[in-house]
Structure 1
C-alpha cells in the first residue's frame, strides 16, 4: 500500500487496503491507508472517523494523534484539535501514518492558524446556494460524521435533502432536530412542507398552523405556508385562514411612506426585468430562459434578477437570455426595489412569486411603472400592492389582470421540439390506457375518486402512473393501493419507471391532468408526444392548460368546468375510438396553431400585453 502511495496511485492503494482489511495483521495499516485516501478525496469526516476508531485500541500507531490533531483543526473542531496535539507531544516520533498522507500534509501549527468555524458546513451551504446540491450534501454529511448532533448542520442537511427530493429522509432529520432542540417556527414550517410533499396533508397543515402561531409576523413562514396552499382546493385553502393571515400581515408591514411609481414616458425599447432567483426546477428555468431569449430586442431589453453569477454552473439556462444579469439572492426587499428603480426598469415580471416568500411585499413599493405577477401566485387571496396579474384566458379580464390567451406557460418548454402524431395504443388492442404523471403531493383523495369514476365508466381501462422516483418506496405504493382501493380500482393501476415523456405519451391513449395542482410543463411534453390531455379548468394548473387547449380548438373535447364534466369528458373520449384516433392524428397541427405554443410566440404575447398596459398607463 505504501508503494502505491509513493506512486500517487490511490486506486491501487484503495484496492490493496480493502483487501488487507480482511487480514487482522494488516487491518491497522489498511485503515490508515483508507483514511489517507478519503482525506485526499475531500472526505474529511470519513478520514477522521477511521483514524479515531484506531485510537480505541491501546496499540494505535504513535503518530495518529498528530494526524488527527491536524484533521480536527481542518474540520474546525478546536478543542479536539488542541487535546490531540497535546497528546501527540507524549508519543514517540513516528511516520507510520504520516507517510500515507504524503509530504503535502500540513503541520499542526499551519492547520491551527487557519481554523474556522464549521468549514465543511459553510462550504456545503455555499454549494447549496450555488445549486450544486450533490456536492452540498456530501460536505454537510462529512461535517455530521464528526458532529452528529449539530442542530444547525442537521437542519441544513434536511434543507439539502428537501431540494434533492429526498423528502422522507428529510422528515427523519427534521424530527431529530426537533428532538434535540425543540420545534422552532422555522423547523415546523419545513416539516409542514415536507409532510405535504409526501401526501400527509393534515399533518403538514397542522405544522404550518403551529409555525404561523409561533411566528405570526414572519413573511418567510407565512409565505411557505401559502406556497403549499396550491395542493388544496380554493375553498380548502381559504378555510385554513392562512391566506387571510398572510394578506393582513403583508398589509400591516407595508412601508410607512410609499414613493410614487416611476412614470413611463414612451421610451423604446421597453426595459423588462424578470425576477427569477428562486425557480425550483430545470423545466421551469428552461422555459423562462427560452422565453427571455426569444424576446424581440427591437421592442424590449431583457434584464434578469437571479441567483448567483451569470457564468455559474447552475445558471446555464440563462446564457444568452438576458441583456443584463444581476445576482439579487442576498438583497432585502428594500434594496431590490431601489435596484429596480436604479436600472430604469419599465416592467417587472415576477416569475418567483411564493417561491421567494421574503419578497412578497416588493410590489407595495412601486418599483416600476408596471409590476406584473406571473407564476406561483396565491391560489386564493391577493397580496397587497400596485400590480397586475397575468391570467389565463382572453378578452377583458377585469381590473388588475392581464390576459394571456394561451395560458401562463409556454408548453413547448425549453427545447421547442415539434409536436408529433402517435397512434393510440388502443388501435392495436381493446384496452384504453389513461396516463398520469404527478408527485405525491399532487395525489389527493378527491383526485383518486375522480380517476376511479373514470376507470369505472370505461370497462377494462387501466391507469398508468409515470414514476419519476416519487412512488418507488413501499409506503407510496401502499398509499396508491389505499386511495384507489377506496374507489374499487386499485387492481387497474400500474406504475412504470424509465423512459422519457415522449415514450410515455406513445404508450397511453389519454392523459389526465391532476387537480388542483400539476406539473403543467410535464403535460406539455406529453401533449407534444401525441397524447391528448383532459383538464379541469377551475383548478390552478388546469386553468392554464384549459386556456391553451381552448385556443387550439380542443376545448369542447378536453376541457371541463367541474369534476363531473372532467369525468364525463375523459369517459366520452375513451368511448369514441374513431374520434380519439382522429384527434391524435390532428394534434400536432392543433398545437402548432396556437401562437404562444413556441417560445418566440409566447414572448410576443408577453410583449403585446405589457406594452399595451404601459400605453394605457401613459394615456
Structure 2
C-alpha cells in the first residue's frame, strides 16, 4: 500500500488544556508542548521523553512524543510512544489515528484500516480518519465507499482543500473530467501552488481536450494569473506525459521560482532533475524536501536512486537502511537495497534482500525481476532459468501477435528497444552490425528509453527511419504504439537491467521478439520472447535446456564490436620496464565475487612481485573503497599490492590499459565490453567459462579473435593459466604488439560480415513465423 494520498493529517500538538493551564510543576511537559507548538519537534522530543519518564502529562505526553517523532520521520520510534498513549487514553481518537497513519506508510493496509476505524469509533467526526479511510477504499478500488467517505468528511469540514483534491481524484477515476477540472481549479484558486490539484488538472485537461488544447487552456489561465505556480505545474505534467522532459523541467523551474516556499514543488523539481540525469542539482532539493516531509517514502527512495546514478553506493545504502528502519521492509526499499549491495560486490546479502522482496506480499513482478538482476552474479544457468520462469509465470501468457502480412521475403521493420542507444555497452556492441544491415531489406525504428546526445547516438539516429523517446510511456501504451508502427521484429536490448521493459514482452507488440545484448545474461523466461540471439560459444549444442527461448545462433560471435576511432595507441608491455606483472580488472564490483577474490589471492601469492589494479566508478566513493579494501583483506589480498581506482572518462579508461599487462576477468558473470576494450588496447584476458550466458561472454569474444586458449574451465585452471602467462614476458610482449591488428582482422569487428550474418538470422526468424503463423 502506498502512503495515504493527500489525506489531511493535523500536526499540531494535542494538549489537555491551553498551554498556560499546564501545572507549574510539569516543566518538561510544558516545555516540550511549547517546542512542538513552535514547530520545533527535534527540540520537543527530549523534553517529552523526560515528561513521559517523570509521569508528567499522562497519556498526552506520550501522544505528543509520538507526534514529534512522526514529524521527524522517526516512525519506528514513534510507535511505542503512540501505543503507550493508546493504552492510557483508550477513548481518544488520536493515538489509533497516528498508529494507523504509520501502518499506512509502512504498507500495512489491513492494520491501517482497523486502526482508522478504531479512531472513528472514538470520534465519529474525526475528519482526517474519514479521509484516510476513503483513501484506502480508493486504493482498493472501492470507489463508492471512497466517495461516501469523502462526502462525510467534507460535510464536517467543507473548507479543507485536501478533501476537494480527494474528490477531484475520485471524479477523474470515474471519468468525470468536467467535475475533476472544476474541483482542481477551485483548490488552485485558494492555494495557487497546490501540486496535487495541478497534477489532476493536467491529466483531466489532457484527456478532455488533447495535448495542444490543454496547453493552450493552461497558457490562458497563466496569462490571467501569472503569479500562480499551479498552471506551470499542470503544464509540466502535460509535457512529461507527452515525453518532453526538457519542457516539463522548464515549467517546474518556473513553478519553483513562483513558489519557492512550497516543499512539494521543490520536491517535484528535484525528481525531474533526477530523471534528467542531473543528480548533483537534484540531491540538495530532495534532501531539503525530505527534511520537510520525512514521512514521504517516495522522496527517500528517489534520493537513493540519485545516489545510485552517481555511483555513491554507501551513501545510497545509508538512505535505504534509514528508510527501512522508519517504513519497514517495504519491497521497493528491499529491491533497491539488493541492487546497492550487489553493486558493492556483496552478492549474497544482495540476493537475501531480493528474496525478502519476493517473499513480501506486495513484492509482485518487480521483486522477481530484481532477483533476476542480482542472481546472474552468483547463480548458474539452472538457477537462472528457474528464476526467469518465475517471472514468466507471474506475467502470464503472451497476447496474440499483431497482424502482419505473411510474406517471408518482404522488407522488414525492426524495432530497437533500449536505454543504451548511444555510448553505452549496447551501442558499442550492436551499432556497427545494425548499420551494416541492408537498408532496402531492414528499416530500423528506435524506441529509446533514455535520451542520449553523443556521437554514437547520432549514428543510431541516422540509421533509424523512426525515433521515439518512450521512457514516459507505460508498457500498454508503448506496446500499442509499436503495434501501430508496424514492427515485424522487436530486438529487446534491455532485459532485466536498469530501464529495461520485460513487462512489454508478453504484450506481444511484434510478431517476433528477439533478445540481444543489454543485460543478456540468461534466459528471460517470458512467454512471447521467441529467440535468443547467440553463437556457438555462448550456447553450445545441448545448452537449449537452459532457455525458454529458441536459440538463434550466428556463425561467428553474437556481437559486433565498434572500436572507438580515437582510442589511444597500444603501448609496450609495462612489465618490461617495471620488472613485474600488473594485472587489472576494470569491471563493476558486482562481478567481483568471493570466488574471484580467492582466485586472485592465490595468483598474487604465487607471484610475489605482481600487482593488481581494480578500476570502476564506485571506487571513487571513499566509503565504498574502504569497504572493498576490508573485503579484499579478508580474502588474503595484500593491500599494498592492490590499487583501487575510481572511474574516469572513456578515453582515459582506455589509456589506463597502458599500465596493465594481463586482464583478470571475473566470474561467474564475465566481462563483455570490457573484454573487447582490453583486447583492443593490447591486453589479453584470462577468463573462466561457466554455463550461463553471462558466464561465457568473454569466451565468445576471445574465441572470435582466436584466443580461446586464454579461457579456463575451472578455478584451478584459471589460477594456473594466469600464473603461467604472467611468467612468459616475451610471449606477452609479442602478443600485445600485434593484438589490435589481430582484433581488427577478426570477425569481432568485421561489420559487413556481421551484418550479413545478422540479416540472415533475422530473416530466418521471420520466415519461421510466416511458416507457423495462422494465415491472415
Gaps of 5+ in 1: 1-72, 79-105
Q: 1:325 aligned to 457, 467, 470, which one?
A: 467
Q: Aligned pair in 2 of structure 1 residues 171, 495: CA closer, same or farther (>3 Å)?
A: closer
Residue 555 (1) aligns with residue 698 (2): no
CA distance in 2, matches of 1:123, 1:459: 54
Q: Aligned pair in 2 of structure 1 residues 541, 407: CA closer, same or farther (>3 Å)?
A: farther
Aligned residues: 515
1:388 is matched with 531
Q: 2:522 aligned to 379, 382, 385, which one?
A: 379
Whether contact under 8 Å (1:501, 1:525) holds in the other structure is no
Q: 1:590 aligned to 739, 742, 746, which one?
A: 742
**Map 1:288-437 → 2, pairs under 5 A:** 288-289=430-431, 291-307=433-449, 318-355=460-497, 359-375=501-517, 376-377=519-520, 379=522, 382-393=525-536, 400-413=550-563, 415-416=564-565, 420-437=569-586
CA distance in 2, matches of 1:482, 1:123: 39
Q: 1:155 aligned to 297, 301, 304, which one?
A: 301
Q: 2:699 aligned to 546, 557, 574, which one?
A: 546
Could you tell which deviates more after superposition, 561-570 or 262-271? 262-271
1:274 is matched with 416
1:13 is matched with none
Whether contact under 8 Å (1:463, 1:492) holds in the other structure is yes
C-alpha displacement of 1:107: 14
Once the two structures are superposed, residues 563-610 of structure 1 have per-residue CA deviations (whole angstroms, 9 ceiling, x without a partner) of: 222222222211222221221122122201223325555444422321
C-alpha displacement of 1:446: 0.6
Q: 1:454 aligned to 590, 603, 607, which one?
A: 603
C-alpha displacement of 1:329: 2.4
Residue 201 (1) aligns with residue 347 (2): yes
CA distance in 2, matches of 1:600, 1:183: 52
Q: Secondary structure at the match of 1:353?
A: coil
CA distance in 1, matches of 2:373, 2:227: 48
Q: Aligned pair in 2 of structure 1 residues 392, 168: CA closer, same or farther (>3 Å)?
A: farther
Q: Secondary structure at the match of 1:441?
A: helix
CA distance in 1, matches of 2:195, 2:634: 54
Q: Aligned pair in 2 of structure 1 residues 139, 312: CA closer, same or farther (>3 Å)?
A: farther
Q: What's the TM-score once normalised by structure 2's chain length?
A: 0.59
CA distance in 2, matches of 1:308, 1:505: 29
Q: By percentage of residues, which structure has more helix?
A: 2
2:392 is matched with 250
CA distance in 2, matches of 1:440, 1:122: 32
Could you tell which deviates more after superposition, 110-119 or 189-198? 110-119
Q: 1:224 aligned to 341, 345, 370, which one?
A: 370
Whether contact under 8 Å (1:439, 1:470) holds in the other structure is no
**Aligned Cα root-mean-square deviation (Å):** 3.8
Whether contact under 8 Å (1:448, 1:484) holds in the other structure is no
C-alpha displacement of 1:354: 0.5
CA distance in 1, matches of 2:494, 2:722: 33
CA distance in 2, matches of 1:553, 1:461: 27
Whether contact under 8 Å (2:418, 2:500) holds in the other structure is no
2:315 is matched with 169
CA distance in 2, matches of 1:315, 1:140: 30
Whether contact under 8 Å (1:452, 1:484) holds in the other structure is no
Once the two structures are superposed, residues 220-276 of structure 1 have per-residue CA deviations (whole angstroms, 9 ceiling, x without a partner) of: 2211121111221317x82xxx86355235225424863587454134432111111
Q: 1:476 aligned to 620, 625, 628, which one?
A: 625
Q: Secondary structure at the match of 1:516?
A: coil
Once the two structures are superposed, residues 84-137 of structure 1 have per-residue CA deviations (whole angstroms, 9 ceiling, x without a partner) of: xxxxxxxxxxxxxxxxxxxxxx99993477596822222333333344443433
Q: Secondary structure at the match of 2:591?
A: coil
Residue 440 (1) aligns with residue 589 (2): yes
C-alpha displacement of 1:618: 4.3
CA distance in 2, matches of 1:410, 1:517: 20
Gaps of 5+ in 2: 1-190, 197-222, 234-261, 545-549, 772-776
Q: Aligned pair in 2 of structure 1 residues 408, 76: CA closer, same or farther (>3 Å)?
A: farther
C-alpha displacement of 1:406: 4.8
C-alpha displacement of 1:305: 1.2
1:507 is matched with 659
Q: Aligned pair in 2 of structure 1 residues 444, 297: CA closer, same or farther (>3 Å)?
A: same
Residue 517 (1) aligns with residue 669 (2): yes
CA distance in 2, matches of 1:433, 1:307: 39
Whether contact under 8 Å (1:435, 1:465) holds in the other structure is yes
C-alpha displacement of 1:301: 0.8
Whether contact under 8 Å (1:278, 1:356) holds in the other structure is no
Q: Secondary structure at the match of 2:719?
A: helix
CA distance in 2, matches of 1:407, 1:419: 25
Whether contact under 8 Å (1:224, 1:357) holds in the other structure is no
CA distance in 1, matches of 2:363, 2:322: 26
1:5 is matched with none
Could you tell which deviates more after superposition, 579-588 or 109-118? 109-118
Q: 1:466 aligned to 615, 621, 641, which one?
A: 615
Once the two structures are superposed, residues 462-517 of structure 1 have per-residue CA deviations (whole angstroms, 9 ceiling, x without a partner) of: 21223534255255335335435533644432234568233222212111111122
C-alpha displacement of 1:460: 2.0
CA distance in 2, matches of 1:451, 1:215: 41
1:64 is matched with none
